[in-house]
Structure 1
Amino acid sequence: MSLEEVALFSIVQAAGWPIWPLIFCSVIALALVLERLVSLRRARIAPTGLVTEVIGVCRAGIPGPEVIDKLAANSLLGKVLAAGLRQATRTNDPELLRRAFETAGRSAAHQLERYLNALATIATAAPLLGLLGTVIGMIEIFGAQAPGSNGTNPAQLAHGISVALYNTAFGLMVAIPSLMAHRYFRSRVSGLLHDMEQAADQLLHRLVHPQLAPSQPNR
């Protein structure tokens, strides 16, 4: 082990058991951040030009079930557009079409926001866990002082307090990146949802337009 690894292990040992929940939170937060980075890629959620391609296909009529199923498997935006196309094969009522898009959009929003609440909870709870660990450490330090003793060693007391503060520092080290990641992902989700809503509106407009009224599915 390197000197840095030994020093880090010594700090963890000195901080006591309250630091272990923080270590667990840091591992969970890192896993959530990596998962969201992979899952919220634009190519996986709302590929550029997909709605234009779908509208172009719809000029010849509503595509068949095989094409719609392929569209749904393309991306999350594809699922939303496919839901509207499936409804269009049954009716061209604008209200029913809008409801189909909105229902699929709510499902997509739920999927995009998955794990963000957990990340926000870690960002909120980590400083409190660190403060709890510091308080416990301070209680142990002052409780260990022998009653009736003539005095205490100031250097030893200062060292004990600094060790107790490790928990607070580590809690902030977990909370700050988690909060920044949560804000970033929240902003990214909002942008993706806006793009998906715009795409759904474009396809809805084409489906209810008199010159582009949906026909029977191709067979």
Structure 2
Amino acid sequence: MQDSLQTAQSAINSTKIVPEKQIFSLWEILFGGGLVSNIIMVAIFLLGILALYIFLERYFFIKRASKLTPNFLENIKDFVQDGKIDTGIDYCKTIDSPEARMIEKGLARIGRPISDISNAMQNQGQLEVSKLEKNLNLLASASGAAPMLGFLGTVIGMIMAFFEISNVTGAVSPKLLASGIYTAMATTAAGLFVGIPAYFFYNIIVTKVDRLVLKIQTHTNEFLDALNKPV
């Protein structure tokens, strides 16, 4: 009798349904929220690619523009003192840098009032700054738009999840609620994952631009001081 009870108990235990353990799938979380959620997720990742491209393009562009030419300003001063203005202009044309193009404008107007020279250099400086800041507005927009898109995806996902729950008759399965929530929250996580680095990218580029502009202003002021120096 004892053996029969043990055998029956073993049979009952062997027939118990063991719940299947759910495997964490990043792909399913990111792209398992339906058509609207997938569209928003793709838009977020496209913003991330755009932000990374702009950051790398601007970083290396500014790095090239910041490259120092040994004794550049000293050579310009020597050309001015020796009266070799055309030689100085040709020398500036061989150097691909913002300050060289600004000083070239100044050299081309030597003989006019110093205010005209300064204005010409300032106008050229504005053009150079606009070149340095090219597409920075897009980088700033990407850093702000990505989290907002993520939040929009979360709101839409939550609306759709509660809409499905409202159509369920009887008790609501916690699994159904949890699945809808973590899928909806995935868009916010993706938006922050893109927006936070893009925000740092933007500030890094702005800082490099400011430093380069300060250096250019310093050199142009030295050039103007050299023109004003009594002979």
Provide the TM-score with structure 1 as the length reference: 0.85
**What's the counterpart of residue 128 of structure 1?**
148
How far apart in 1 are the matches of 2:183 and 2:223?
61
Shift of residue 73 of structure 1? 4.5
Unaligned runs of 5+ in 2: 1-23
Counterpart of 1:184, as a letter, is I
Number of residues paired by the alignment?
202
Counterpart of 1:127, as a letter, is P
CA contact (8 A) 1:29 1:178 kept: yes
Among candidates 17, 26, 36, match of residue 48 of structure 2: 26
1:199 counterpart = 2:219: yes
Greater RCO structure (CA 8 Å; 6+ sep): 1
Equivalence map 1:52-63=2 (5 Å): 52-63=74-85
**What's the counterpart of residue 144 of structure 1?**
164
Among candidates 44, 51, 54, match of residue 65 of structure 2: 44
CA contact (8 A) 2:150 2:187 kept: yes
Provide the TM-score with structure 2 as the length reference: 0.80
CA contact (8 A) 1:81 1:203 kept: yes
Among candidates 118, 134, 138, match of residue 118 of structure 1: 138
CA contact (8 A) 2:77 2:226 kept: yes
Unaligned runs of 5+ in 1: 1-5, 212-219
CA contact (8 A) 1:123 1:179 kept: yes
How far apart in 2 are the matches of 1:102 and 1:203?
13
How far apart in 1 are the matches of 2:194 and 2:29?
16
Counterpart of 1:77, as a letter, is E
Seq. identity, % = 27
How far apart in 2 are the matches of 1:61 and 1:196?
24
CA RMSD of aligned residues (A): 2.0
Among candidates 100, 103, 127, match of residue 107 of structure 1: 127
CA contact (8 A) 1:73 1:79 kept: no
Looking at CA atoms only, which structure, 1 or 2, has the larger radius of gyration? 2
How far apart in 2 are the matches of 1:122 and 1:73?
37
Q: Do the aligned partners of residues 50 and 151 (structure 1) sit closer, same or farther apart at CA in structure 2, a change above 3 Å counting?
A: farther
How far apart in 1 are the matches of 2:72 and 2:138?
31
